[in-house]
Amino acid sequence: MTVSSATNQITAGQFHAADGVDDWRCLYHLVSAHFPTGSLAQGVALVDEIGRLADESEQQIVNVDLRHAGVTVSLKRRDIALARRISAAAKELGLVADPAAVQLINVTLDALAGAEVLPFWRALLGYHQIGDDYLFDPANRGPGFGLQQMTAARPQRNRMHLDIAVPHDQAEARIAAALAAGGRLVSDAHAPKWWVLADAEGNEACVATWVGRA
């Protein structure tokens, strides 16, 4: 099966049924491939090829993560032609994909009053919002953050919280934005190493800096 890259929307099943995309896996709205490399130089060579191919195809969403161990690249589902060309470029460089190595992490918070707590998390994380219940990192570095509606309150304290490390000269501004968006300060006993904040439902997060650390 062949699906044109000009198709606006295709399903995950349609993507995986297409020819030449065995290296790739659908993860939510994206497709991703990971190519292990023997060196950082090999990774840079592949990233150069991906950049050239992406510029030629004029695609707007091409996320590339370069690490010493390999390169992970993500595209929109409809970009089948570009996915094929990236796989071909990797093969030319002697690189073999590892489909089992790709994943996409989202953090989901159970909430009774999502509309009240979402502005706090948007300000605290510095994220942008999609719809009524989802936040994303505009720089495409951090995980997505979503809310899931609860039917009843939980009396116990949450056993997980988020730690957000920010530049030391940005911490106070980030905290002020979160407080202005409906949050509250739980503790500044360890500031400026970290502050503990909470949203309107008591879900906690720490804003941390390097100041005061070894």
140 and 181 in contact (C-beta within 8 Å)? no
Chain-wide mean pLDDT for the chain? 89
Judged by average pLDDT, the poorest of 51-65, 145-159, 166-180, 187-201 is: 145-159
**Closest to 135 in 3D by CA, of 156, 165, 158, 111:** 111
Tell which wins on pLDDT, 109 or 5.
109
Q: Which residues contact 38 (CB under 8 A, 6 or more apart)?
A: none
Tell which wins on pLDDT, 168 or 127.
127
Strand pairing class (162-165; 204-208):
parallel
Look up the pTM and report it: 0.79
Distance CA 38, CA 15 (A): 29
- Angle formed by the axes of helices 114-125 and 171-180, nearest 10°: 170
Average pLDDT on 112-131 reads 93
Give how far Cα 129 sits from Cα of 20, 115, 138, Å.
Answer: 34, 12, 9
Given a cut of 90, whether residue 47 has pLDDT beyond it is yes
Q: What pLDDT, on a 0 to 100 scale, did the predictor assign at position 5?
A: 38
Neighbours of 75 (CB within 10 A): 24
131-168 pLDDT, tens digit each: 999 999 999 889 999 998 888 877 777 778 899 989 88
Average pLDDT on 112-136 reads 93
67 and 94 in contact (C-beta within 8 Å)? no
- For residue 40, the surrounding DSSP H or E stretch is helix 40-57
Q: Which residues contact 174 (CB under 8 A, 6 or more apart)?
A: 123, 124, 126, 164, 166, 207
